[in-house]
């Protein structure tokens, strides 16, 4: 009886161990499956990490390119000497170039402030805000001349700021210093009155001999109209035998050498040869460079002399 009971207990323990073994085997399979899933997840994470690293490197390159492009743009804008102010739709300042401070009192901390809140150095012009708003409303550029309190003239242009996608994100205000040009225009207007009424032929030619200016007396003496002369070269007025002499005089002037008034000959529109006395002057810009030659030519009669003399 005791053996039978022990045997039954042993069989029961055996079955329990078998059941436990099956459970352990099942758990082991589940652990193995979980391990395989972890391995797969690890590989996926490693792949994602590699992709993120690649994307991060690409972003770093793009950030470096963007920073370089931004630096290039800032240096370009500053180097042009053109005053430039960028504003958004609310007319708040986004950025500006150093030259713009000559017209609007700007400091770096003004970025983000409405342009209308800043003091202007422009004389008798208080419509900047209204003009910028009008450009944003109509998308049509606006141009005008403004004078600063220092007496300098600027060509101001307001135009929409367009992105590469043709989206309007604000406006750009540019100021180009035209003081020297305006002074030159005024001087030329005064000179034009003198030149127009002069009895002598007055011409201007570039260093290649192309005629740039031609007064009424030049038309009277030589016969070509101003429109015809402006399409000509000074060589067209010089007899073939005297062209080398004329070129030598031009070369002397181009080297800043002085040239005394000299007698020579010129051709008229009807191919007649006339005697003239020429006074030539080199025109020099503010950089000291010769850019053109002005001549005053007086028709004369040289008794018994048909040859040009220097």
The yes-or-no verdict on residue 190 having pLDDT over 80 is: no
**What mean pLDDT is predicted for residues 123-145?**
94
- Considering just the CA atoms, what is the radius of gyration of the chain in Å? 43
pLDDT at 21: 84
Q: What string of DSSP letters covers 122-136?
A: BTT---HHHHHHHHH
Q: Per-residue pLDDT averaged across 151-177, rounded?
A: 92
* Nearest CA among 95, 139, 138, 135 for reference residue 115: 95
Domains 81-177 and 199-300 are alike in CATH topology: yes
pLDDT value of position 192: 64
Is the CB of residue 157 less than 8 Å from the CB of residue 132? no
pLDDT (average), residues 98-104: 91
From the options 3.30.450.20, 1.10.760.10, 3.90.550.10, 3.40.50.10490, give the CATH code of 81-177: 3.30.450.20
Rounded Cα gap, residues 304 and 268, in angstroms: 20
Q: Which whole-number Å values give the CA distances from 261 to 197, 276, 295, in the listed order? A: 21, 10, 10
Confidence of residue 96 (pLDDT cuts 50, 70, 90): very high
**pLDDT averaged over every residue in the chain:** 86
DSSP secondary structure, 39-105, as one string: HHHHHHHHHHHHHHHHHHHHHHHHHHHHHHHHHHHHHHHHHHT-EEEEE-TT-BEEEE-GGGGGTB-
- Mean pLDDT for 170-179 is 93
Domain positions in the chain: 1-79, 81-177, 199-300
Q: For residue 261, which of 276, 251, 283 has the smallest C-alpha distance?
A: 276
What confidence tier does 13 reach under pLDDT thresholds 50, 70, 90?
Answer: confident
pLDDT of residue 304: 42
Q: Give the Cα separation of 1 and 263 in Å (integer).
A: 159
**Alpha-carbon distances, residue 309 vs 49, 80, 257, 261 (angstroms):** 91, 50, 19, 11
Determine the distance from the C-alpha atom of residue 228 to the mean position of all C-alpha atoms in its chain, rounded to a whole number.
35
The predicted structure's pLDDT at residue 307: 41
Output the pLDDT for position 156.
95
> Which pTM was predicted?
0.51
Domain 199-300 fold: Beta-Lactamase (3.30.450)
Question: Can you list the positions of beta strands (E) in the chain?
Answer: 83-87, 93-96, 142-147, 153-162, 168-177, 201-206, 211-214, 262-267, 273-284, 290-300
The region of weakest confidence among 164-168, 214-218, 272-276 is: 164-168
Model pLDDT, residue 258 = 62
């Amino acid at each position: 009886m005791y053996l039978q009971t022990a045997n039954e207990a042993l069989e029961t323990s055996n079955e329990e161990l078998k059941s436990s073994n099956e459970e352990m085997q099942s758990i082991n399979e589940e652990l193995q499956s979980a391990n395989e899933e972890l391995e797969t997840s690890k590989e996926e994470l490693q792949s994602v990490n590699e992709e993120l690293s690649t994307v991060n490197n690409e972003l770093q390159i793009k950030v470096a390119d963007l920073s370089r492009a931004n630096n290039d743009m800032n240096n370009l804008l500053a180097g042009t000497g053109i005053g430039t102010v960028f504003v958004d739709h609310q007319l708040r300042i986004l950025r500006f170039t150093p030259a713009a401070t000559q017209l609007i009192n700007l400091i770096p901390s003004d970025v983000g402030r409405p342009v209308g809140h800043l003091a202007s150095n422009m004389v008798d012009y208080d419509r900047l805000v209204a003009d910028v708003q009008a450009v944003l409303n109509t998308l049509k550029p606006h141009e005008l001349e403004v004078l600063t309190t220092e007496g300098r003239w600027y060509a101001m242009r307001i135009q929409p700021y367009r992105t590469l996608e043709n989206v309007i994100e604000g406006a750009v205000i540019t100021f180009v210093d035209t003081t020297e040009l305006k002074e030159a225009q005024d001087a030329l207007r005064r000179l034009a009155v003198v030149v127009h009424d002069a009895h002598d032929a007055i011409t201007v030619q570039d260093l290649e001999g192309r005629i740039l200016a031609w007064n009424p007396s030049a038309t009277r003496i030589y016969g070509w109209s101003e429109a015809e002369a402006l399409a000509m070269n000074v060589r067209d007025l010089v007899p073939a035998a005297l062209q080398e002499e004329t070129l030598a005089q031009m070369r002397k002037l181009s080297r800043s050498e002085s040239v005394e008034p000299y007698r020579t000959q010129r051709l008229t529109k009807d191919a007649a040869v006339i005697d003239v006395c020429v006074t030539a002057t080199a025109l020099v810009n503010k950089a000291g460079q010769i850019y053109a030659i002005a001549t005053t030519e007086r028709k004369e009669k040289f008794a018994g002399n048909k040859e040009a003399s220097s």
